[in-house]
Amino acid sequence: MSLNTDKLRAVALMGATGTGKSALAMQLAGEAQSSIICCDSMQLYRGLDVGTAKPSADDRARVAHFLVDCCELPDHYSAARWAEEARVVIAAENEQGRVPFIVGGTGLYLKALLEGFADIPDEKPEIRGKFETLQWVEGVEGLFRYLQEHDAVMAERLKPNDSQRIMRALCVLESTGRSLADWQAEASSQVGEIDCPVAVLDVERELLRERLATRCQAMMESGWLDEVRWLSTLNLPATHPAMRAVGYRQLLDHLQGELSLEKAISDSITATRRYAKRQVTWFQHQTPDAVHGTVADLKKKMMGLLS
């Protein structure tokens, strides 16, 4: 792993939720007098603090954090938007002689930054409203039938119960007049414009499972249920990413009377463990050139990249 000074420079520290990325990044950024760009699809929403393990006010006072609390609900964020804004931050930090750390577990966002992403125009709000109504009336089955009838290519790529991606494909189709598949095919690759070695922090599976259970209980003690109760008052559509966030979904079910609190917490822990397992698999397959290691392994290697 080496950096080319002719290009924008950053270092990515990725990994599954609960592995300790943030703590390691705080130490590294503090020693390097650098900054952190949050690569987390939920931490960017203002108000979602406890359940996303968002950096504390003290942490943000000690080390500059970017792309956290940068989106007000009910607005939507996207990988393409994150990549564009991250690029601006990296350029500004490089101008000041700093190499920022990109830290998080949302691999798709990092992929959008390093490999390019389709430059899709914004969805039209009335179009999303149309399909939210369709989903309310006919369920995800109705959405998928509509997609099959109007965009067979995307219907073939998506699972029939993946309401979030089906909704996105339909909104793009009717907002732009073109299939999402066409936009993705035209994505202009930006490989090579950013020199960004990737490190993945690994933690032994059973230890990670224990950490996630402990963290969930700590979040409950820190007021997570109150945070979810506030989220429920916003009346966001079920397809909004915030309503589908791991852990939040289960506590929302409890507030709606569908689960006991004990069951909601148990299901939240299970869902978080499964999510972490999916993240581990993603980083194994989608970042083949990444260096994997423990905290001790990666600290020495990552600090060497900043010289």
DSSP per-residue codes, the chain: ----TTSEE-EEEE--TTSSHHHHHHHHHHHHT--EEEE-TTTTBTT--TTTTPPPHHHHHHS-EESSS-B-TT----HHHHHHHHHHHHHHHHHTT--PEEEES-HHHHHHHHH----PPPPPHHHHHHHHHHHHHHHHHHHHHHHHHH-HHHHHHS-TT-HHHHHHHHHHHHHHSS-HHHHHHTPPP-TTSEE--EEEE---HHHHHHHHHHHHHHHHHTTHHHHHHHHHTT---TTSHHHHSTTHHHHHHHHTTSS-HHHHHHHHHHHHHHHHHHHHHHHHHH-TTPEEE-HHHHHHHHHHTT-
217 and 299 co-located in one domain: no
Q: Is 13 a member of any domain?
A: yes
- Summarised one tens digit per residue, pLDDT across range 132-155 is 999 999 999 999 999 999 999 999
Q: Is there a domain that residue 2 lies in? A: no
| CATH code (residue 113) | 3.40.50.300
Q: Is residue 227 part of a domain?
A: yes
Residue bearing the bigger pLDDT, 241 or 2: 241
Residue 74 covered by a domain: yes
Query: What's the domain range around 158?
Result: 125-185
- Residue 202 CA to residue 154 CA, distance in Å, equals 34
Q: What is the CATH number for 252?
A: 1.10.287.890
The pLDDT of residue 189 is above 50: no
Query: What are 112's two structure tokens?
Result: 């959008």
Write the CATH number for 167. 1.10.20.140
In the prediction, which pLDDT does 76 show?
87
Q: How many domains does the chain have?
A: 3
**Pairing relation of β-strands 36-39 and 194-195?**
unpaired
Please indicate, yes or no, if residue 173 is contained in any of the structural domains.
Answer: yes
The reply to whether 260 and 299 lie within a common domain is no
Kindly state whether residues 78 and 198 are assigned to the same domain. Answer: yes
Claim to verify: residue 52 and residue 198 sit in the same structural domain: yes
Which of 187 and 44 is assigned the larger pLDDT? 44
**Judgement on whether residues 112 and 258 belong to the same structural domain of the protein:** no
pLDDT band, very low/low/confident/very high, at 306 (cuts 50, 70, 90): low
Residue 242 lies in a domain: yes
pLDDT interval class at 4 (50, 70, 90): very low
What is the pLDDT at residue 6? Answer: 67
Place of tokens 């203002």: 46
Same domain, 138 and 63: no
Same domain, 37 and 104: yes
Q: Are residues 198 and 163 in the same domain?
A: no
173 has a pLDDT exceeding 70: yes
199/225 same-domain check:
no
Burial group, residue 75, by CB count within 10 angstroms (0-12, 13-18, 19+): exposed
More confident residue, 187 or 198: 198
CB atoms within 10 A of CB 291: 15
Residue 220 lies in a domain: yes
Which residues, other chains included, contact 214 with Cβ-Cβ below 8 Å and sequence gap of 6+? none
pLDDT value for 122:
79
Q: Is residue 3 part of a domain?
A: no
Please write the tens of the pLDDT for every residue from 149-159: 999 999 999 99
Can you give the pTM of this predicted structure?
0.78
pLDDT digit string, tens, across residues 267-298:
999 999 999 999 999 999 888 889 999 998 89
Task: Let me know whether 100 and 132 are in one domain.
Answer: no
Of the candidates 159, 78, 153, the residue with the CA atom closest to the CA atom of residue 111: 78
Span of 22-26, 111-115, 129-133, 255-259 with lowest mean pLDDT: 111-115
Residues 24, 133 within the same domain: no
Over range 5-29, report the average pLDDT.
92
Task: Reply yes or no: is the peptide bond before residue 74 cis, omega within 30 of 0.
Answer: yes
Domain match, 54 and 22 both: yes
